[in-house]
């Protein structure tokens, strides 16, 4: 095992094999030393989408877990694109939370993603972030996120 594979294993993370996008876009694009990652939804390794709306049929804890699952997919895309060991810094993370009008704790849900990135990359995992509510996400997903990454 490489050092990064060992580190992920110690965190209990197994990266899934993600399929190619089903629509007209690429899962990532690179410009110079910057990697742009397309949105990753809360789809677990078995292929099941974690669905719902926080404040309606999903709890804050469900949302945090969904953010972690989406982050694991993001890590898998980074691995496909450049390899996790080539990440210099997670620059920006955008997190959309499928939630009701009354739910206002999107940053708390997004912390599931932010904290996991910091566990994986340490200081290089700290990032600027936007956490936004939305009334729906693709395929009914609970969380979707994307990122911008600086490459070593």
pLDDT digits (tens, 9 = 90+) for 10-26: 999 999 999 899 899 99
pLDDT band at 2 (very low <50, low <70, confident <90, very high): low
DSSP 18: P
pLDDT (tens digit, 9 = 90+) per residue, 76-124? 999 999 999 999 999 999 999 999 999 999 999 999 999 999 999 999 9
CA distances from 139 to 98, 108, 136, 142, 145 (A): 11, 23, 9, 9, 14
- Where in the chain does DSSP place strands (E)? 28-31, 34-41, 87-98, 128-134, 143-151
Q: Which CATH superfamily is domain 27-151 in?
A: RutC-like (3.30.1330.40)
Sequence length of the chain is 152
């Amino acid at each position: 095992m490489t050092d990064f594979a060992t580190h992920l294993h110690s965190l209990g993370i197994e990266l899934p094999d993600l399929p190619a996008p089903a629509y007209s876009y690429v899962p990532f694009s690179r410009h110079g030393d910057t990697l742009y990652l397309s949105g990753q939804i809360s789809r677990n390794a078995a292929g099941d989408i974690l669905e719902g709306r926080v404040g309606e049929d999903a709890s804050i804890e469900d949302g945090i877990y969904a953010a972690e699952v989406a982050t694991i997919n993001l890590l898998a895309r980074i691995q496909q694109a450049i390899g996790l060991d080539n990440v210099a810094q997670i620059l920006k993370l955008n997190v959309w939370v499928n939630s009701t009008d009354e739910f206002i704790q999107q940053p708390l849900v997004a912390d599931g993603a932010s904290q996991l990135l910091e566990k994986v990359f340490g200081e290089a995992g700290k990032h600027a972030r936007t956490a936004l509510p939305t009334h729906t996400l693709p395929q009914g997903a609970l969380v979707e996120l994307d990122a911008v990454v600086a490459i070593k």
